Amino acid sequence: MRATVLHSPRDIRLDDVPDPQLALDTDAVVRVVAACICGSDLWPYRGINEVDEPRRIGHEFVAVVEEVGADVSTVRPGDFVIAPFMYSDNTCALCRRGVHTSCVQGGFWGGDDHAGHFVDAGQGERVRVPLADGTLVATPSVPGEDLVPHLLALSDVFPTGHHAAVSAGVTEGSTVAVVGDGAVGLSAVLAAKRLGAATVVAMSRHADRQELARSFGADEIVAERGKEGAAIVREMLDGIGADHVLECVGTGDSMKQALACTRPGGRVGYVGVPHDVQLNVPSMFGRNIGLAGGVAPVRAYLDELLPEVLDGTLRPGAVFDLTLPLDQVADGYRAMDERTAVKTLLTV
């Protein structure tokens, strides 16, 4: 089969690789219908995260089940499934507490599983899925093509924005500021409105992303960044700042901006993978500002979110503004690297 391989920074290709096979009785093999490129894929693509040897890449995909192991009972060949961005057993003590990203048997796509068998990554034609019962969520029937982007958005990007909002404690009637206008930040705007936020301020300098933020429900846009932007947000929100701030970037500057936007007693929900983030603990302490979040336990949220996508009330797939066939995956990375696309969907 063909799958995406990152050979070295900015050298990404669709290569011929071995066909996946069932290795364990709890496995499934699935045929990918659509995959996408994540902002976090750009870290190794750009060489900021080291790439010492060619590696498979991609962790967001929807698929049709082709084959299942003897112990798999919740999905069958022919089922349309959503794969969360990590695999997990959905039964261990941590999965039961909703932290599937810390599953004792779980792991990332594109590495070896706990038994030492290779697990395919998502940007390819087929994937061996470990712990298929725990990992995959099937739709009641095979969905129409128009639903595919919205279902694909459930594999990572929307639940990650949702995790920021949940971690920050967004409730009915509260005020929210969102730092970051990438696909996750935009998803966080949608998630905050879905949870009932009265006012959502999106911080974005780009006209196209501002427009998408508006369409996702943003009430206000602030183009300024850093201290200047935070001062405007505070002024806008009772002169004190936002109850909840969603940090969707992960740099030291974006975290500072997020903390400066937060009112005393408020909370930052952070989902941007942290790179050189330092926290001013005494200032957070004096102002009673909390911080929660991390890698989104996507699987934990699917049971709640999927029905709303299926009935059309939740349409998170609007973050995809570029659709390409899998064999143009390199163009998809280039577009996101150069910020001409917010997020690329790959049809397989």
Min dist. Cβ of residue 26 to a second copy (A) = 22
Q: For strands 61-68 and 55-56, give the pairing.
A: unpaired
- The single residue among 273, 310, 324, 330 that binds a second copy, judged by CB under 8 A, is 273
Binding residues for a second copy, how many (CB under 8 A)? 37
**CB-neighbour burial class of residue 342 (10 A; exposed 0-12, middle 13-18, buried 19+):** buried
Residue 98 within binding range of a second copy, rule CB under 8 A: yes
Give the closest residue to 242 by CA, choosing from 176, 313, 320, 321. 176
- Distance of alpha carbon 249 from alpha carbon 24, whole angstroms: 37
* Helix, coil or strand: residue 149: helix
Nearer of residues 42 and 240 to a second copy, judged by Cβ: 240
Q: For strands 290-293 and 262-270, give the pairing.
A: parallel
- The single residue among 42, 64, 240, 310 that binds a second copy, judged by CB under 8 A, is 240
Nearer of residues 100 and 150 to a second copy, judged by Cβ: 100
Nearer of residues 23 and 240 to a second copy, judged by Cβ: 240
Q: Which stretch binds a second copy (CB under 8 A): 5-13, 190-198, 291-299, 332-340?
A: 291-299
* Helix, coil or strand: residue 134: helix
- The single residue among 16, 278, 303, 338 that binds a second copy, judged by CB under 8 A, is 278
Residues in 101-130 that interact with a second copy by CB under 8 A = 101-102
Residues in 141-200 that interact with a second copy by CB under 8 A = 167
Min dist. Cβ of residue 93 to a second copy (A) = 5
Do 258 and 251 contact (CB within 8 A), yes or no?
no
Q: How many CB atoms lie within 10 A of CB 240?
A: 14
Nearer of residues 23 and 94 to a second copy, judged by Cβ: 94
* CA atoms within 13 A of residue 201's CA, in its CB half-sphere: 28
Q: Which stretch binds a second copy (CB under 8 A): 31-39, 66-74, 232-240, 320-328?
A: 232-240
Nearer of residues 264 and 307 to a second copy, judged by Cβ: 264
Residue 234 within binding range of a second copy, rule CB under 8 A: no
Give the closest residue to 58 by CA, choosing from 79, 73, 40. 40
Beta strands in the chain, from DSSP E residues, in sequence order: 2-8, 11-16, 28-36, 55-56, 61-68, 80-83, 86-87, 107-108, 126-129, 137-138, 175-179, 199-203, 220-222, 242-247, 262-270, 290-293, 322-325, 344-347
Q: Which stretch binds a second copy (CB under 8 A): 10-18, 138-146, 204-212, 277-285?
A: 277-285
Q: Which stretch binds a second copy (CB under 8 A): 35-43, 65-73, 279-287, 316-324?
A: 279-287
Per-residue CA distances from 241 to 17, 20, 103, 277, 300 (Å): 52, 51, 36, 21, 30
- Interface mask toward a second copy for 297-316; x: CB under 8 A: x-------------------
Query: Residue numbers of the site for a second copy (CB under 8 A)?
Result: 93-94, 97-99, 101-102, 167, 238-240, 243, 263-265, 267, 270, 273-274, 277-279, 281-282, 284-295, 297
